Structure formats: C-alpha cells, structure tokens
Homo-oligomer: A and B are copies of this chain.
C-alpha cells in the first residue's frame, strides 16, 4: 500500500494465471495450451520476418491479419478487431462496451478474469448461477442488464451452449451488448460468428492461443458489427497504437490461413478428449461433457485438491480452483497421447481401487 497509488489500485484483486513452471520435464496440463505446435507455415512466416525491419513499428491496425480473419469467417475488414491476446481484447470490451449504468451479467462459474476487469474499470456486475449440471440457462439472463458475457464453451466447465440458445437470447436481449467468448469453440462447438450480420449487439471473441497453437505470441480478436468494433478501436487508439508486434502479425496471419493444419490438430485433440473422458469415467470421475480442449471432472474417492497435489508430485500439473461449487473438480488440459497415458497411469496409481 502506498500513498502514491491511484485510488483504484488499492481495491484491485488481480487475476492469477495458471502456473508457468520453470522446471523442465513437467507434464503441463494446467493452462489449456494445445499439445501440438503451430503450423510449419507459421514458423516459416515468422522466420521471414526476422531481420532489420524489426527496427520499424508494425502496422498499427494489423490490416493483413484482420483481412485474413475477415476472409476466413466471411466478414468485412471493419467487422474485425485484433489485440494483444484475447485478454486485452476482453479488457477493451469491458471498458468500451460493457461499462453501463445497469449491471453486467455473467455466470457465477466462468472465466475468473471477468470480475477482475469489473474491478479495474468499476463495472457493476451480477453473477448468474449456472444450473446444477453447470449449464447456462438463457432465461436467467432475460432481466434488466447493461451487457451479457459468457465463454462458450464455458470455462472452466467445458460445457457448450447450443447456438440455437444464443440466437434465442439475441432475439430477446436487444438493448445491450452480448459477448460470446469463444476461446475454445473450435474443439466442438459452432461459432456464433454467423449471427453477426443479424444482431448488431453481438460481439464474438476468439484467440489463436488454443486451437491455433499460438499462446506464445499473444493474439486475440473480436468480431461484430462495425459500430461495436469502432468502440474497441477508439479505446485501443487511446491506449496503445501498436498492440501487435511484427512477429505476432505474420505468425497469426499464417495460422489463420493454414486451415488444413488447424482442422487436423483440432480433430486430434477432440479424439484424445473422448479417450481421456472414457478413462476418467472408468476411474470413477464425474466428467462434465466437454466441447473444449480440457476436461472438468470430479474424482469420487479422493478430494480434488489432494489429487492435484499427488499428481504434481508425479510431475503432472492440472488446475484446481479453490472456489465454491467447483472445489471438488479439476480442470485437466488434453495433452499428447504420451502425456494422456502418463496422466491416466498416474491416476490409476493414486486413486484407491474398488
């Protein structure tokens, strides 16, 4: 605490990201990274960018990348905004669109950065309880609000809300912005991006961190009506003219353009998820149906926290949230085949038989 700080700093409760361990040879199933590296075309494109031109500022509006995203999703350039990871895109969205006189709504179990943004920008919010099965019920959101945001599939549950439900919500909730945070959508859901031209208050946020194997270069994007995008551009241009560096722009562009590699990688992760789910169920876990690259599951014969500790002793890191309603669950990222086998084998040795 310091008398030099701005008032807001005293009240912040920062987000705590999953651990990025500095020890080698750990099996890291805690931050939902893709088990497979990026497309070889990404590496080639970044390779070509390495040189004297790094002395020059990047394109402040990242047109090339935005055009690649627009082309892939069938949008116009002015319907796409890019930022330094989807966390930055979310931050600008909270400040530029979701700070309203009425409270913002989001699920009680959800991405734990949402209340942190509300703290930073003094956004009033209400958390809407998920059903007992961790499902989002859109009827619960049909109340006075200054905006609605949820991940789809939800995090950390992995549970998908069907597109038809999102469309129902948009038909009924027309006076405030609805943000669908689709970090994990490519692993088993249908994106709401196809609804953008019908609903001017829909903003869809995605990232290259998960399905495109590029958490290391920090690129996220928002898609929506040009009017919503303009709000984000205004905030961005009042914050940082050049949020994406040269390497990130070319790398992300190549990733979006290599559709075959992307589909193949997603398919492998989805197949592994189904295998791991079956194994966990055999081991007595309650597994929430997942449309993501992770599984949210509760062990039946050991506490989740003890199990996380035991796994860590065996060199495997998973994510445990010490929070109401979910403190009996672990969030386990899908790894490579070898990593998944190591996980199952460790679980078999830890969990009492019977």
Contacts and interface: CB of A to CB of B under 8 A. Distances in A.
A53 interface: yes
Contacts of A200: 4
Contact of A234 (B14, B43, B60, B96): B14
Contacts of A16: 237
A119 to B, nearest CB: 6
Interface stretch (A80-88, A148-156, A346-354): A80-88
Contact of A42 (B12, B35, B54): B54
A46 interface: yes
A235 interface: yes
Nearest to A91: B239
A243 to B, nearest CB: 6
Given A91-B239, A95-B8, A242-B17, A43 B33 contact: no
Nearest to A99: B6
Nearest to A98: B6
Contacts of A251: 54
A31 interface: yes
A169 interface: no
B177 A4 contact: yes
Interface string A72-110: 000000000000110110010001111110000000000
Interface residues on A, range: 35 or more
Q: State the number of copies, please.
A: 2
B4 A201 contact: yes
A46 B50 contact: yes
A34 interface: yes
Interface in A165-214: 176-177, 200-201, 209, 213-214
Contact of A55 (B52, B88, B215): B215
A304 to B, nearest CB: 23
B240 A57 contact: no
Central interface residue in A9, A96, A214, A237, by most chain B CB within 10 Å: A9
A247 to B, nearest CB: 4
B57 A31 contact: yes
A9 B234 contact: yes
Contacts of A14: 233-234, 236-238
A239 B239 CA distance: 12
A23 interface: no
A228 B58 contact: no
B20 A57 contact: yes
A59 interface: yes
A283 interface: no
Interface of A: 2, 4-9, 12-17, 20, 22, 28, 31, 33-38, 42-43, 46-47, 50-60, 84-85, 87-88, 91, 95-100, 116-117, 119-120, 176-177, 200-201, 209, 213-218, 227-228, 230-231, 233-248, 251
10 contacts: A4-B227, A9-B235, A14-B234, A38-B52, A38-B54, A46-B247, A58-B216, A84-B240, A87-B242, A120-B238
Given A9-B96, A35-B55, A247-B247, 6 more contacts: A2-B227, A14-B236, A34-B55, A58-B215, A120-B238, A217-B245
Give 8 nearest A-B pairs by CB, closest first: A37-B52, A14-B237, A54-B216, A216-B246, A17-B241, A6-B99, A55-B213, A120-B238
